[in-house]
Structure formats: C-alpha cells, structure tokens
Amino acid sequence: MCALQGEPVDRTPVWLLFPYHPTSYYVDVRSHPDYRRIFDLSQQQGVIMLNRRNPAVRWHSPDVVYERAEIASNSGPVHRRTMKWGGVQVYSDHPRKAGSPGKKLLESDEDLEAFCRLPIEDNEPRIEADLKDQLGEYRREQSEFPLDQGSMMLDLGSPVNALYHSSNLEEYAIWSLTHDSLIVDWLGRMMKQLEIVYRFCLERDLADVYFLVGSELAAPPLVSRETFQRWVVPYESRLIALVHSYGKKVIQHFHGQIHEILPDFVTMNPDGLHTIEAPPVGNCTLSQAYETTQARITLIGNIQYDEFRSATPAEMRRRVHETLDEVAGRRFILSPTAGPFDTDPSPTLLENYRAFIQAAAEYPEIRPAP
C-alpha cells in the first residue's frame, strides 16, 4: 500500500502475480509441486500477494435465452452457444477438434448489430442476487488468505471486455470506424451493470485493490487513440473514481505500445499501472514513462515473461538490478509482465523465479519516493 500511494518503502516491493487460490488462467501455484517451492520462497522473502478473483454476472436480462448444443460440421463436432431474444439471434461455434475452424460470436456487421440489440441486465436486485450467490465462496477464500502478506484483489472488468473477447479482431478494428456510435451506446449500457457490480463489492469491503484489464483491449495500433479515448477512458475513469471514493486502490493493466496513450492513463488516475514494456515488445521505457506520469502513478513491471523462460539466473539478477537502477527509488513495484501460465515449467523458468526474488532482496539501496 505504501508503494501504491507513493510513500517511502523499507524494501523493494515485489509482485509475482501468483494467485493464492486457483484461477482459470494461471497455474495453481500452491498445489503444483514445482511452483510450490517458489511460492514458499516468495512468502519467506515478503513478496506481495494480490489474490485476484473474478466474480461475474450474466451479461443480459433474463428474457435473453442462452442455448448450448452439439452440432455436426464438415470438420467434426462443434459446441454451439446461441443467444436469442425476440427475432434476434447470435451464436459462436467452438470445435471439439483442435485446429478446426470455429466462429466468434461477432464475425460480421449483422452479428454486431444483433448483439447490441440484446437487452443488458441492469436490474439491481437480480444482479445483487447473482453476486450474493457467489459471496459465500468468496468470503471463505477471504478468510483463508493471509492478509498480513497482501490483499484480496477484484478483477470485475471494464465495459469493453465483453465486446473485445467476443469479436473477430479484424472486424473489431473496422467497427471502430464504421459502428462507433452503436458501440459507444452499448458500452454505456454495459457500464450501468458494472457500476452496480462494483458498488456491491465496495459496499461490502471485499477487497483493497481493484484490477482493470480493459485498457489494452481498445488501444493503438489495433484502434486509434481517439477510439481509446471514447471506448476506454470515460468508463475506466468513472470506475477508478468510484473505487477511490471508497478509499480503495486501482491497478490498471496494459500490454503493448503504451507510449502514445500514457497521458490518458494520467487522466484516468489509477494508483498503479502494470506493465510498461520497452522495445521490441512495447514502445516505452520506464524512464520515458516516468517523464510522462511525473510520479502520479506507481509503475509495475518490468521483466518480460519470456526472459524467465530464456535467461540464465545471472542474467536475470542483472536485469533486476538494472531495472531497479533505472527507477532510482521512484514509485515502483517489481513484477513479471505475466503470471504463471506454464503448466509444465522448465528448470530454467523456476530458477529464474528464484533469481528474480533473490535479486530484489539483495538490492543494496532503497531510496525514498520523491
């Protein structure tokens, strides 16, 4: 919390992105025998744990019918998911055979236009009832989590998330030019749902940190900065302000070419920003990012996950020390650019996690934040 607030720290803050409880997108590090050794070392070294959880509600009102069916196709059996409302219908196809073609929910202008007609669930009592059904499991996890070593962290989404993940991305980029007004209207309606979800969690003090991942889903070079300013900035600014009004913290997540839009993150005003990626992966160094953010945001990163797979432990220690030299005591949390998604980690990956943790612990000097 000191790091996120820009206050002096007594050691290098380190965040591994390791979840404490299982997730669908990362390895369960506490039950995996190889990762468990790294997890235990991280606890011994006081590494930050942010227990990322993802409570969610149904996108649409109850009169939208969701159907699932197995159908035959020329390439084999397909799992079809359909959404129906009145005369409106959209569907996605998920092939059972690896490598077979499927269909995204939104592949055509007609798909998008139909999807944007479906009524979004914005009935507060129904949304809260859905969340209350998940609250018992969440409270159990909250009681198990060692709060002296970190915080519960909620990832509740941003309006653009559902659209991005449902779309053929080539069409998605074109829609930013041809269907912008339709999409902005849809984003505004989805925002009403999300504000109910956020308030439910904030009013019950479910987490100290909120994680927003939508910004990277509507940004250059996929779409223009102007689109980013219409599809992301207004909504994430409101969500961040809402979280701050309850005294909680926000970390925004962004992979890729952030340099052009960094001023927009200053406008949105998160407490932390993960992750700043230098060339060739991204287009912004940490030093350049500090020039733009002017100590108003805690930067989080910046060791590429691929380096954990390929570097030697000596190279990893050097990269950590070079990174800490570059930040020079400014607002910073050391972190990989991605979480543990390798289910069969190589010895190199595991040794580099160990070197990463130890290099931060042995770094010789911590300067007060300016």
Do 69 and 49 sit in the same domain of this protein?
no
144 is in which domain, residue-wise? 2-59+120-362
Same structural domain for residues 137 and 185? yes
The answer to whether residues 83 and 187 belong to one domain is no
145 and 270: one domain? yes
The answer on 100 and 142 residing in a single domain is no
SS3 letters for 155-210?
Answer: CCCCCHHHHHHHECHHHHHHHHHHCHHHHHHHHHHHHHHHHHHHHHHHHCCCCCEE
With CA atoms as reference, report the closest residue to 151 among 236, 52, 32, 80: 52
**CB of 58 closer than 8 Å to CB of 159:** no
| 261-317 per-position pLDDT tens digit | 999 999 999 999 999 999 999 999 999 999 999 989 999 999 999 999 999 999 999
Residues 223 and 276 in one domain: yes
Residues whose CB is less than 8 angstroms from the CB of residue 66 and which lie 6 or more positions away in sequence, other chains included: 60, 81, 82, 83
In a domain, 113, yes or no: no
Assigned domain for 301 exists: yes
Residues 163 and 42 in one domain: yes
Last residue of a domain, one of 43, 74, 107: 107
Residue 180 lies in a domain: yes
Per this entry, what is the length of the chain? 370
Query: Is 114 inside any structural domain?
Result: no
CATH of the domain at 356: 3.20.20.210
Q: 285 with 254, same domain?
A: yes
Residues 169-197 as b or e (16 or more Cβ within 10 Å = b): eebbbebbeebeebbeebbeebbebbbbb
State both tokens at 343: 């289910």
Q: Determine the Cα–Cα distance for residues 44 and 31; give it in Å rounded to an integer.
A: 18
128 touches 115 (CB < 8 A): no
Contacts of 292 (CB under 8 A, 6+ apart): 262, 263, 266
| Tens place of pLDDT per residue across the chain (370 aa) | 999 999 998 888 999 999 999 999 999 999 999 999 999 999 999 999 999 999 999 999 999 999 999 998 877 889 999 999 999 999 999 998 877 789 999 999 999 999 999 999 999 999 999 999 999 999 999 999 998 889 999 999 999 999 999 999 999 999 999 999 999 999 999 999 999 999 999 999 999 999 999 999 999 999 999 999 999 999 999 999 999 999 999 999 999 999 999 999 999 999 999 999 999 999 999 999 999 999 899 999 999 999 999 999 999 999 999 999 999 889 999 999 999 999 999 999 999 999 999 999 998 755 444 4
User: Do both 342 and 283 map to the same domain?
Assistant: yes
Query: Do 149 and 286 belong to one domain?
Result: yes
Domain count for the chain? 2
Query: Are 148 and 185 found together in one domain?
Result: yes
**Main-chain dihedrals φ then ψ at residue 28, nearest 5 degrees:** -75, 95
Contact 299, 273 (CB under 8 A): yes
Q: Is residue 309 part of a domain?
A: yes
Residue at token pair 């990163």: 301
Question: What pLDDT does residue 365 have?
Answer: 57
Residues 38 and 53 occupy one common structural domain: yes
